[in-house]
Structure formats: C-alpha cells, structure tokens
Amino acid sequence: MDDAVVAPALRDAHVHPYSGMDFAALIAFGVARVRDLGSRLGAGEPLPRPADCADPLPEIELGGPFFDRPGPPRLSLAARWDSAEELPGLLDDAVTRGARWIKLYAAFPQELFGFMVREAHRRGLRVALHPAPGGAEAAIRAGVDELEHLACLVPDGDGSKRGTHVLNHRWAHRDPDARWPNLPPGTRLCPTLVVQRKLIEHAASAWAFPGVPGNLAAFWRRMPTTARPWSEQEIAWARAAEPRMHETLLRLADSGVTLVVGSDTPNPGVLPGQGLWEEMCLLVRAGIDPALVFWSTCVRPPAWPASGDDPLMFLSLPSVRSFLAGEPGPVAPVLATLLRGCVFVPNGAGVSESVSQEAR
Ligand SMILES: [Zn+2]
C-alpha cells in the first residue's frame, strides 16, 4: 500500500439500518461505526454480531425505538404509545436492549419534550430530535442533545402547509436579512445535506434511480417524498433552496453550532458508506473547514495516542487531496479499513472482504 494515508475510520451519525442493508459497503468506505436513529434494531430486533474477520460489519450504536405521535404509529418503526405514563417504561426497555440514544420524530408532542428529555437523561440515554418546522427553539429549551436536519430551522408560518415543497419554497425565497435560523452556540446539529442533494439529482429522472437494484429503487419510490414525480417548479425550488441551506449552515458553524455528520441512509438515493462521503464533500463545498468536517466525522479515540483498538482507514493520497479541495465528483471506496483487528479491503464491486486476520 504505497502512499497510503492512515486516518481514524468514520462514524455515520444518522443511519436507519434496514433489512438487506449492505453493511459491507459501509466498511468499504471506511465507515466503522454507525448510529442507529430508528430501525428494526432499535425496535427490538437482535443486533447483528460480527462472527469473524470474514464478516464486514460496522459497530452499531443502538438507538432506542423512535417516538412519534401517540396512538397507532404512522411509521412502522415508531414505538406504539398512547399516554405519557407509558413512555418511561419504553425508555427502560431501550436501556435494557443497550440503546444509547432515542430519537423523537416530527409529530412527537412538543409539550412532552421536556419530560422525555429528563426521563431519558435519568437513564443515561441521549435524545436526538427531528423537530417539525419551527420546532428548534422548543427542542433546545427542553435540553435535547441534538437536532436532526435543517427543516426545523424554517419558521412554521401559519402551520397550515407543510411538506418538502413548502420547506424548499421557504428556503428558496429566504430573505438574506431574515432572522432565522438562530441557534445558540454549542447546539449539536446533524444537517444531512446529502438528502437534499440526492432528491435534486433523482427528481429530474422521475425517480428512475439508474444503477440501483430494483428492490431498493422500489423501496425508495414508496417513500412519501418520492411517491410521485416532482413538477418543474418543485425541482426549481429544491435547487434554489440548496445554496441557501449551505450558506446558513456555514453561518451557524461559524457562530459555534457543533456539527454532527450523518447521511440519513437510506433516504432516496443515499447509499450506505458512499452517502457519508457525499455528505462530507457537501459540507466542504458549503465552506466548512475540511479538517473540521473530518474531525466531526471520524471515530475519535478517547485518548491520544490511540490504544491500538481504534478503527482506522487507509486512504490514497489523491482521494485525500480531492476531499481537502472540496472537489465534487464521485466518491470512491477507501483502500482498506482496520476494525476489530481485521483488515477489510474493498473488492472491485465495492463490497468488502477480509483479506487478513490478526493485523495487530
Ligand atoms: Zn433519519
């Protein structure tokens, strides 16, 4: 491995592991750890455990179940709860399963944010929140640990119209002097810019998702945002929204907001591993210091020098240079990933396979 750069491996902070997910693709892109923010695993399915070095599986930071509105869940993975008294018991269950995070979703009642955060923190669980538009302030007041996506930064208006196109329209027409969004320094924010990018890329082909296996493409076409083709006008709003989002994020990062880097795989067009690098490249293109982007994404050893147990990745010099330069373009798998003492080398198909056991 001539001219390889060794670096800490990566953590994707926002993933929904799904059945049939290509975990090997994560390893192929140097992603050694993923944080589950809502999945069958979080809902109680057993965690996959790596058998040996032939098993390219990242570490999974388990999230709880995720919590949306009370009553019958509108999302199959959300926890069923009918009254607030049931919530502490569900948090206890999450702790028993080894969860470290729970996620509150857009329809979780705002008046319960504070209660849920206190109950979660008492149990050592941290709280990620995907608030509805206009919901960032209430989330911060309630002490949530992290905000997901940029949608919550947009004022809710009169609340009568919501959805992707309304939000894109608001971003696209944002007055440069507008006072939103405003987040206090230290707020942790996971922007998931790649979701917007992929929607723009694939809307133009009416969700054909060329080159993507049929079952995954069909799964994406059943999602609410992609259930029908977007009109020219809707695509234009999405395109115009993107630079406004990037400018805003740069301003927030400059004002002391803490960046958390995650891909929100599997949103439409967002692939495991590749999606995280695309997110990192978008952050660099938005003007954020590449060193900060990298530092915010890597699995950081608790102490330096590292113990030798920390996951590492090996990158080619040209790929490091193009990342530092913020060059757009296709991202490539890494040369190799070292995890649990196993070296995984991506094969030509982008799938990892172990080539040697005990590397230490
Ligand atoms: Zn998500």
Cα of 131 vs centre of ligand 1, distance in Å, is 12
Confidence of residue 40 (pLDDT cuts 50, 70, 90): confident
Averaged pLDDT score across all residues of the chain? 89
219-275: pLDDT as tens digits: 999 998 998 999 999 999 999 999 999 999 999 999 999 999 999 999 999 999 999
Cα of 14 vs centre of ligand 1, distance in Å, is 6
Confidence of residue 165 (pLDDT cuts 50, 70, 90): very high
pLDDT of residue 220: 94
pLDDT of residue 52: 85
The residue extents of the domains of the chain are 4-356
Locate tokens 């924010």: which residue? 189
Burial class (CB in 10 A: 0-12, 13-18, 19+), 44: exposed
**% residues pLDDT > 90 (the chain):** 67
Confidence of residue 353 (pLDDT cuts 50, 70, 90): very low
pLDDT of residue 188: 97
Burial class (CB in 10 A: 0-12, 13-18, 19+), 76: exposed
pLDDT of residue 302: 66
Cα of 262 vs centre of ligand 1, distance in Å, is 9
Cα of 162 vs centre of ligand 1, distance in Å, is 18
Cα of 86 vs centre of ligand 1, distance in Å, is 24
Cα of 355 vs centre of ligand 1, distance in Å, is 33
Cα of 15 vs centre of ligand 1, distance in Å, is 6
pLDDT of residue 356: 38
CB-proximal residues (5 Å) to ion ligand 1:
264
pLDDT of residue 44: 81
Locate tokens 């997910």: which residue? 21
Distance, CA of 91 to CA of 151 (rounded, Å)? 26
In CATH, which superfamily holds the domain spanning 4-356? Metal-dependent hydrolases (3.20.20.140)
74-95: pLDDT as tens digits: 888 899 999 999 999 999 999 9
Cα of 358 vs centre of ligand 1, distance in Å, is 35
281-290: pLDDT as tens digits: 999 999 999 9
Cα of 220 vs centre of ligand 1, distance in Å, is 14
**pLDDT at 191 > cutoff 90:** yes
Cα of 146 vs centre of ligand 1, distance in Å, is 13
Q: CB-based contacts of 265: which residues, under 8 Å, 6+ apart?
A: 12, 14, 15, 16, 21, 271, 272, 275, 276
Cα of 249 vs centre of ligand 1, distance in Å, is 18
Cα of 331 vs centre of ligand 1, distance in Å, is 22
143-155: pLDDT as tens digits: 999 999 998 888 8
User: What is the arithmetic mean of pLDDT over 121-131?
Assistant: 95
Cα of 263 vs centre of ligand 1, distance in Å, is 8
pTM above 0.75, yes or no: yes
Distance, CA of 242 to CA of 192 (rounded, Å)? 12
pLDDT of residue 359: 34
Confidence of residue 303 (pLDDT cuts 50, 70, 90): low
pLDDT of residue 41: 87
Distance, CA of 270 to CA of 232 (rounded, Å)? 22
Note whether 308 and 339 are within 8 A (CB).
no
